[in-house]
Structure 1
Amino acid sequence: MAGDEVRHLPPLSVSAGLATRIVIGGRPSPYAMTVLAAVTRIPRGKVMTYGDVAEYVGAGTGRTVGAVLSRHGHDDDIPWHRVIRSTGEPNPSAPDEALRRLASEGTVLRLGGERVDLSAARWDGRTTA
């Protein structure tokens, strides 16, 4: 995704200090809600890295995306398993479950099924599956 100027979600229009807050008053912040909305758009069989999601929403870093998913990504409606490390490795907090879900969705895996083949499965934020 690097260098891709196309965005499907507008960049957040909040001050830099608030742009990546995860929680406000015990509830997901606007940033967290934007990240979660982006993750739900990733099609079955496709993935984005944590950094890809940050770039897609126009704010934060891979670490802030990871923090959002760690805190708010447990809802059954959030396909948290479709967000992976830049090495192709699955979510570090539940790698076996993430790989099981990815395989069941037809995501292309490599290295004995322990990593995602990013060249085949990476979603660019524009195309559908």
Structure 2
Amino acid sequence: MSVVFMEIEYDDHTLVTTAAHELIACMEFDFQSKQVFEVGNIRTFMQHLVCPFPGKRTEKYPSILVRAYINVVSTLLERGEKSMSLLPFLKLLLTNGPLSLLIELNEDEAGCWLVSLPEFERRYQFQINARIPNAE
């Protein structure tokens, strides 16, 4: 997961509030360390994503991860749930997005795998073939 969050160079960035930046970073950390993201107060999380007020600090964040965060929180809100495991998150992240040109999910009888595509390997000079732990 650290490759998805740290190694891939994202061209498009979005300005978010400092609080939103911290919340999205927490989502990244949770998926990397625990393979699950647990949202606290969804209302508070969504309020932090509102366009920053004048005078409030903002920071840049990769747009794809901002959209992923919004999709995760929205999905949890729709389902009335408080957490999402790694596999559903990866499916959300890779569906019709720019990452789908770089990495994909493969499922077989042995489990679910995050696999690099030729464009990723050309760009970053290494391969990914990682088993997704606890895939549902």
Tell me the TM-score normalised to structure 2 length.
0.30
Indicate the structure with greater strand content.
Answer: 2
**Higher RCO, 1 or 2 (CA under 8 Å, sep at least 6)?**
1
Indicate the structure with greater helix content.
Answer: 2
Q: Which has the larger radius of gyration?
A: 2
Tell me the TM-score normalised to structure 1 length.
0.31
